[in-house]
Amino acid sequence: MLNEEIIDNKDLIIMKLTHYFITDKNYNPIIIRGIDNEIWLENLTSDYEVIRIVSRHIHNNEQLNFDRFKLGRIIKKLKVKTLSLKLKVLNIYTDIGDDVNLSDNDIFISKEKDIPKSALADSFPDIVDKINYKEKGIELFAKITDDINRDSYQKSKKAEKLFSRKKPIVTYTIIAICAVIFLLTYILGDGPYDNLTLLKFGANLDILTKNGQFYRLLTCSFLHIGLLHLLFNMYALLVIGSQIESFFGKVKYIIIYVISAICGSLLSLAFSPNTISAGASGAIFGLLGSLLYFGYYYRAYLGNVIRSQILPIIILNLGLGFMMNGIDNAAHIGGLIGGIFTSMALGVSDKSKKQEQINGIIILIIYIGFIIYLGFFH
């Protein structure tokens, strides 16, 4: 009897709903400063990206309108943080006055038997069964607390593993290959500024590539024209490549790098005729595109980084490419798009759906076919 009286009905409903959304629907708590008597949860891959559970009493429509005003301001900030054009919010109120008029995205639940008759059951058909616990009172409180803590711990360990720094073996290997090839241009040729030496080591030139020397589409990305060109690209590769290798894994990283490099070289054929081109920048832009795609799925964590760092770097470098001579911006754009589509095809672990990956494969094939047409036949 004591167990039943310790937790009142409203608190019990809130506990059960919170437990369900976190442990069964993969929602994560959002910390909103200055907000009391509310629980905010986010899952940016769900139909409802944000769920808000309000426990305070809403007396009348005026108070509800003020609540909606505050909600709108918070959602605007969340949209900016998560780079979302829209966020569908489900408001769950547990204590409202008799004359309060709720909107379609508002649900009132004061007791458990309200759930099967509410729109909540329509959106989440398994919720009734999932919150039908055999435990009662303190035992139920202990179970819900333990489950949420365990789920939070597992998610934090997974995030720690994903974002922890790992030794970028593949990145180091690519840097080493580029450095060795740079030295060989002096040992076996007349240096990286000599056109014949560049062609000998696999630089991209439309007349040769189109006449069967297709390997140049890839080999040119390991070749650099001058020391500054090499150092700039290798520094960018070390910073960006290390992240992609960590986020996607070594095999996916190699695939992204290779396809991005080839896509950049193909678009370069179309827009830079009679031009010897070399450098890893097309592949590096592909890695930036991949980082952009990854960040979209983890924008709750990386939204500010994407907005303040990744996007400005892409825009600044593309802008410089349009304003300065000697920069193969077609390779940059081709690699950037190739990196995004390749990442979409490969998928982000624990985030991408199978259908999204299938769509990514189809789009990538169409894209490569299109730039092959531009490069070889247009």
Q: Which residue has the tokens 């547990």?
A: 94
* Amino acid letter, 370: F
378 is catalytic: no
| Selected catalytic residue, list 281, 290, 343, 352 | 281
Q: How far is CA 23 from CA 20, 29, 130, 139, 354, in A?
A: 6, 11, 10, 18, 22
Q: Tokens standing for 175?
A: 């840097």
Retrieve residue 241's tokens: 């490549």
Nearest residue to 15 (alpha-carbon basis) of 55, 44, 59: 55
Confirm whether 281 is a catalytic residue: yes
Is residue 357 within 8 Å of residue 344, measured between CB atoms? yes
**Distance set, CA 126 to CA 119, 263, 293 (Å):** 13, 45, 31
Q: Are 278 and 225 in contact (CB under 8 A)?
A: yes
Structural contact between residues 205 and 216, judged by C-beta atoms closer than 8 angstroms: yes
Phi, psi for residue 70 in degrees, rounded to 5: -65, -40
**Catalytic residue (choose from 19, 224, 229, 332):** 332
**DSSP codes of every residue in 174-214:** HHHHHHHHHHHHHHSSS-TT-HHHHHHTT-B-HHHHTTT-T
- The one-character DSSP state at 88 is -
Q: Are 238 and 171 in contact (CB under 8 A)?
A: yes
Cα angle: 150, vertex 153, 157; to 5 degrees: 140
The answer to whether the beta carbons of residues 91 and 107 sit under 8 Å apart is yes
Q: Which two tokens stand for residue 237?
A: 């590769």
Q: How many helices (H) and strands (E) does the chain have?
A: 18, 5
Report d(CA 97, CA 245) in Å as an integer. 54
With CA atoms as reference, report the closest residue to 262 among 216, 195, 212, 327. Answer: 216
- Residues serving a catalytic function are 281, 332
